[in-house]
Structure 1
């Protein structure tokens, strides 16, 4: 009979286990957080947040720690498990939503769909339904998305810049009338003093965000965080080095985009191509 495995007493929850392992490895090494930061070359405060479970950092950070501790792929594997845990995705997204509400400025790049705070009810309903959401959950999520629109309303609304790939404006809804309403709403939003809209046209070439939706949030304490998303996964990024790399990619995209004035004209041309709702 094979010997029984010892029970370690460590958490079976991926994010908590990741944090426990980080604390354990640093304790064995005898480093302070500042010493660890100096040795690995990352901001020491990030490691404190990772050990407290506030963030899981990035895969690059986990790889660097694996090299430092001599634990090949251990931390990277635990990071992947923590990043892929659906319950943790919900927790991270709730944290992102809280930060979004506190942001003093926001800037965004969209690959295929409009940002939630610019979506109409009809647009949000069709997009969320396409993702498999139905019934009461669909109603709840649409209403929550409509609530996010209030963030950009009012005299004290934060500045918001969105760069939209042309594909966003070429991917219409099945309901043509709702698509017309969405384009009208977008054209109106582009006239707001706190909102800057730019379009990245087809033919602009490849760039660092070619497959990545990203939202940057400037917080009242001066920090900037980012949230990246694709069809199957979203990630809140708080580590300053990773955010800076994303910002450099965003700046390159902005250089390729049409000016705000030309972008408004682009949206108006799209609106003219879509028939209005039929009169009754």
Structure 2
């Protein structure tokens, strides 16, 4: 059975590693300055140890982290063993670093897009179109689109995770950005479906109703328990309790039953593309 690893602890370990590297320090140098062992620093950065607030405060001082960033990370330490990790708008940016880390560390990712194509599969044009419906200004939208495109590199890296995306037909039929943008988006999905680690599964209208939990991503890791990311307008975050994980695993099994197979899904995408090209 996989060891349970709270979402905050996994994210904290990645944050501390990144900050040390940005400061240009080795674990040996940090251990010497703190008067502790290299093993202690390594275990902290590998999420094998829950550090104290005092330990992390010392690390942040060594790394030159101050102000709001210091407060945010120390709050993570204080809440590190709390179940789940939810944030309300406009604090979603606090979750983005963790989301990127989880995507890069996962060996398997399951994505469900009930109304829009998931971010890991969006084209730049489609991403710009859907972000225009929000409250961001142009510079914020471009930064978000750029970050989203950069995140997609995880799916084509040398050792890429297995990726399965379930897309409701509604996400494919709603013409965000117009016919040309959607045609390019469908072509991109068909292209992504050719990759050996990727699978696109479409849920057509004709298959009727099914349990729809909203947009989510489920991450599976090599030796630790899965984590689920849920995303909504008002609140988004990570679920790491066993009951929640089992619920979304059950949901995924249900999606597998109602979705078309891989080959049939690509054929379905081709028919939708033809509809957009005729428009």
Q: TM-score, normalised to structure 2's length?
A: 0.67
- The equivalent residue for 1:53 is 79
- SS for the counterpart of 2:171 is helix
Gap runs ≥5 in structure 2: 1-48, 50-75
Query: What is the CA-CA distance between 1:234 and the residue it aligns to?
Result: 1.3
2:134 to 131, 138, 148: 131
Q: Flag the 1:195–1:255 CA change in 2: closer, same or farther, 3 A.
A: same
Q: Flag the 1:99–1:174 CA change in 2: closer, same or farther, 3 A.
A: closer
- The equivalent residue for 1:231 is 233
Matches within 5 A, 1:204-219: 204-208=207-211, 210-219=212-221
- The equivalent residue for 1:26 is none
Q: Flag the 1:85–1:191 CA change in 2: closer, same or farther, 3 A.
A: closer
- The equivalent residue for 1:193 is 196
- The equivalent residue for 2:252 is 250
Query: What is the CA-CA distance between 1:197 and the residue it aligns to?
Result: 0.8
Query: What is the CA-CA distance between 1:139 and the residue it aligns to?
Result: 1.1
1:240 to 239, 242, 247: 242
- SS for the counterpart of 2:166 is strand
Relative contact order: is structure 1 or structure 2 higher (C-alpha 8 Å, sep ≥ 6)?
2
Query: What is the CA-CA distance between 1:219 and the residue it aligns to?
Result: 1.6
- The equivalent residue for 2:18 is none
Matches within 5 A, 1:72-221: 83=86, 85-86=88-89, 89-208=92-211, 210-221=212-223
Gap runs ≥5 in structure 1: 1-44, 59-81
8 Å contact kept, 2:186–2:273? yes
Q: Flag the 1:136–1:88 CA change in 2: closer, same or farther, 3 A.
A: closer
8 Å contact kept, 1:180–1:276? no
Q: State the alpha-carbon separation in 1 of the partners of residues 89 and 118 from structure 2.
A: 22
- The equivalent residue for 1:37 is none
Q: TM-score, normalised to structure 1's length?
A: 0.67
- The equivalent residue for 2:27 is none
Query: What is the CA-CA distance between 1:160 and the residue it aligns to?
Result: 0.2
Q: Flag the 1:55–1:85 CA change in 2: closer, same or farther, 3 A.
A: farther
> Which segments of structure 1 move beyond 4 Å, counting only runs of 4 or more?
82-85
- SS for the counterpart of 2:112 is strand
8 Å contact kept, 1:57–1:238? yes
Q: Flag the 1:182–1:56 CA change in 2: closer, same or farther, 3 A.
A: same
Q: Flag the 1:236–1:93 CA change in 2: closer, same or farther, 3 A.
A: farther
Q: Flag the 1:179–1:55 CA change in 2: closer, same or farther, 3 A.
A: farther
Which has the larger Rg? 1
Q: State the alpha-carbon separation in 1 of the partners of residues 77 and 135 from structure 2.
A: 35
